[in-house]
């Protein structure tokens, strides 16, 4: 019973204006705690008495997560409703570990202070968590991942105990997003598929699912991102990347651009997809040059040519992804100074590379070369050298 629950994917609820109805249903006659992004659309929750903690997503860090955990431990809710973007959902998932046995939260925080990647013991979630995303693209509402930001950077925590029990995708919660933000989310979901597709260790089903979802993401975003229908579809496609075989493979670290963008984003204090827009074409150029440390050229070209032609993108992967970023007007950060770039390259090697499997065999000099080859918006990094139909889907 324990193993079956731990492996179960979240129940996905999706539809126009369903949030209040579904949260009412899921919290009826149970002690519930809502953790809500201060910028979330309101009102989004149902009418049952629910205690609410409002969190500013801009200030989410290990300190904020620890404070949130103290509140959860004090109130001991049976249901937690997390409403917000990826940072709020991640913070709620990690903070909820305070209710897990064996001092799991203390282990996660301590381990993340020493290591960029923490694996949690296989276990079910300690409390029923209902994720209500108000952004799209991160897939935090359906995945087993949490990002914890501490003094060292954005640290990755992975475990089945972080997976929400329910996810509610309601376009009413996505309509305040700008079109630019929606396109960033679509790019994040798409590159999640493209990243794993740089590995040759993939099944036929995984390849097929990745191509189908990738094609649908590109087509939907190209048709327009302003309508509730388009935003609902993009959000469902992003969630589907975690609910199909698309991300499965024998190489769990195939999306190598993620680790580089993670350190660029932390050092330059920019959003993850802004950092990704700068470095992704440079990463793919190295793959397409035949350097296996970055990925498999044939696998990337096979995926890209399967999705790019129908939306009139160049069939050369690096050229094509750069054209996609330009078409969707995804911004890039300003070019870091040589000193900052050196710091970023060293941070990537320390956290993810050299002897680590994520970027095995790559060292700081490789990352310095990549950063010089990346696409930046200006010559230098400015001011600082411091680095109401409700549908229910359940996968059995």
Write out pLDDT tens, residues 228-258.
999 999 999 999 999 999 999 999 999 999 9
DSSP 337: P
Report residue 41's pLDDT band, with 50, 70 and 90 as the boundaries: confident
Average pLDDT score over the chain: 92
* The predicted structure's pLDDT at residue 205: 97
Domain membership flag for residue 394: no
- pLDDT higher than 60, residue 290: yes
Tell whether 155 and 205 lie within a shared domain: no
Domain membership flag for residue 73: yes
Locate 300 and state its tokens: 């990337």
Please give the share of the chain, as a percent, with pLDDT higher than 70: 92
- Digit-coded pLDDT (tens) for 119-170: 999 999 999 999 999 999 999 999 999 999 999 999 999 999 999 999 999 9
* The predicted structure's pLDDT at residue 4: 33
* The predicted structure's pLDDT at residue 49: 61
Residue 136: beta bridge partners? Answer: none
* The predicted structure's pLDDT at residue 394: 41
Mean pLDDT value across residues 314-339: 97
* The predicted structure's pLDDT at residue 43: 60
- Where residue 164 sits, what CATH number does that domain have? 3.40.50.1970
- Where residue 252 sits, what CATH number does that domain have? 1.20.1090.10
* The predicted structure's pLDDT at residue 390: 43
- pLDDT higher than 80, residue 389: no
Report residue 379's pLDDT band, with 50, 70 and 90 as the boundaries: low
Sign of the torsion formed by the C-alpha atoms of 58, 63, 68 and 71: negative
Tell whether 290 and 359 lie within a shared domain: yes
- Digit-coded pLDDT (tens) for 171-185: 999 999 999 999 999
- pLDDT higher than 90, residue 381: no
Task: Out of 151, 173, 195, pick the residue that ends a domain.
Answer: 173
- pLDDT higher than 90, residue 8: no
What's the chain's Rg over C-alpha atoms? 20
Rounded to whole angstroms, how far apart are CA atoms 116 and 105? 16
Phi (first) and psi of residue 247, to 5 degrees: -95, 0
Q: Output 176-180 pairs: Cβ under 8 A, ≥24 positions apart.
A: 176/41, 176/134, 177/134, 177/135, 177/136, 177/231, 179/225, 179/226, 180/329, 180/330
Tell whether 41 and 190 lie within a shared domain: no
Domain membership flag for residue 27: yes
Sign of the torsion formed by the C-alpha atoms of 65, 68, 74 and 79: negative
Tell whether 167 and 183 lie within a shared domain: no
Domain membership flag for residue 86: yes
Domain membership flag for residue 390: no
Tell whether 194 and 166 lie within a shared domain: no
- Digit-coded pLDDT (tens) for 78-117: 999 999 999 999 999 999 999 999 899 999 999 999 999 9
Report residue 385's pLDDT band, with 50, 70 and 90 as the boundaries: very low
Domain membership flag for residue 381: no
Tell whether 46 and 183 lie within a shared domain: no
Tell whether 327 and 206 lie within a shared domain: yes
Rounded to whole angstroms, how far apart are CA atoms 135 and 40? 9
* The predicted structure's pLDDT at residue 2: 29
Tell whether 216 and 362 lie within a shared domain: yes
Tell whether 159 and 194 lie within a shared domain: no
* The predicted structure's pLDDT at residue 48: 65
* The predicted structure's pLDDT at residue 47: 61
CB contact set of 251 (below 8 Å; sequence gap of 6+): 196, 199, 201
Rounded to whole angstroms, how far apart are CA atoms 390 and 275? 36
Tell whether 277 and 128 lie within a shared domain: no
Task: Out of 173, 197, 226, pick the residue that ends a domain.
Answer: 173
Domain membership flag for residue 388: no
Domain count, the chain: 2
Residue 124, domain extent = 2-173
* The predicted structure's pLDDT at residue 50: 74
- Residue 271: Cβ within 10 Å count: 17
- pLDDT higher than 80, residue 380: no
- pLDDT higher than 80, residue 223: yes
Tell whether 24 and 48 lie within a shared domain: yes
* The predicted structure's pLDDT at residue 383: 38
* The predicted structure's pLDDT at residue 309: 86
Residue with tokens 């409002």: 54
Domain membership flag for residue 384: no
Phi (first) and psi of residue 43, to 5 degrees: -85, 145
- Digit-coded pLDDT (tens) for 253-274: 999 999 999 999 999 999 999 9
Which stretches within the chain are classed as H helix? 2-7, 19-27, 62-75, 86-95, 104-114, 179-196, 204-223, 228-243, 257-268, 272-288, 297-308, 317-327, 338-352, 364-373
Tell whether 107 and 165 lie within a shared domain: yes
Rounded to whole angstroms, how far apart are CA atoms 73 and 101? 12
Nearest to 105 by CA among 89, 82, 121, 86: 121
Which stretches within 154-256 are classed as H helix? 179-196, 204-223, 228-243
Greater model confidence, 221 or 309 = 221
């Amino acid at each position: 019973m324990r193993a079956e629950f731990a492996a179960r994917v979240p129940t996905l609820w999706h539809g126009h204006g369903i949030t209040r109805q579904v949260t009412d249903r899921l919290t009826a006659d149970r002690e519930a705690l809502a953790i809500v992004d201060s910028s979330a659309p309101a009102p989004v929750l149902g009418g049952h008495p629910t205690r609410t903690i409002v969190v500013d997503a801009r200030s989410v860090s290990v300190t904020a997560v620890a404070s949130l955990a103290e509140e959860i431990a004090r109130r001991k809710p049976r249901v937690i409703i997390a409403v917000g973007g990826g940072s709020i959902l991640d913070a709620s998932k990690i903070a909820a570990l305070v209710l897990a046995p064996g001092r799991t939260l203390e282990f996660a925080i301590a381990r993340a202070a020493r290591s960029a990647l923490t694996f949690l013991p296989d276990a079910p979630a300690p409390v029923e968590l209902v994720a209500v995303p108000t952004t799209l693209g991160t897939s935090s509402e359906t995945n087993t991942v949490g990002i914890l930001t501490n003094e060292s950077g954005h640290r990755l925590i992975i475990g089945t105990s972080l997976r929400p029990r329910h996810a509610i995708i309601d376009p009413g919660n996505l309509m305040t997003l700008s079109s630019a933000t929606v396109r960033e989310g679509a790019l994040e979901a798409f590159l999640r598929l493209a990243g794993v597709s740089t590995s040759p260790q993939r099944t036929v089903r995984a390849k097929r699912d990745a191509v189908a979802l990738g094609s649908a993401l590109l087509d939907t975003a190209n048709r327009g991102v302003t309508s509730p229908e388009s935003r609902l579809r993009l959000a469902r496609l992003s969630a589907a990347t975690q609910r199909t075989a698309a991300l499965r493979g024998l190489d769990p670290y195939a999306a190598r651009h993620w680790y580089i963008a993670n350190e660029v984003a932390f050092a330059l204090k920019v959003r993850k997809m802004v950092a990704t827009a700068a470095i992704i074409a440079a990463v793919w150029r190295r793959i397409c040059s035949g350097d296996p440390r970055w990925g498999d050229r044939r696998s990337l070209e096979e995926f890209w040519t399967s999705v790019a032609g129908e939306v009139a993108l160049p069939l050369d992967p690096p050229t094509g992804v750069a054209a996609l970023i330009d078409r969707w007007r995804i911004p890039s950060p300003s070019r870091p100074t040589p000193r900052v770039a050196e710091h970023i390259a060293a941070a990537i090697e320390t956290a993810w590379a050299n002897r680590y499997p994520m970027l095995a065999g790559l060292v700081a000099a490789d990352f310095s070369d990549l950063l010089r080859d990346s696409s930046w918006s200006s010559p230098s990094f400015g001011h600082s050298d411091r680095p109401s139909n409700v549908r229910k889907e359940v996968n059995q």
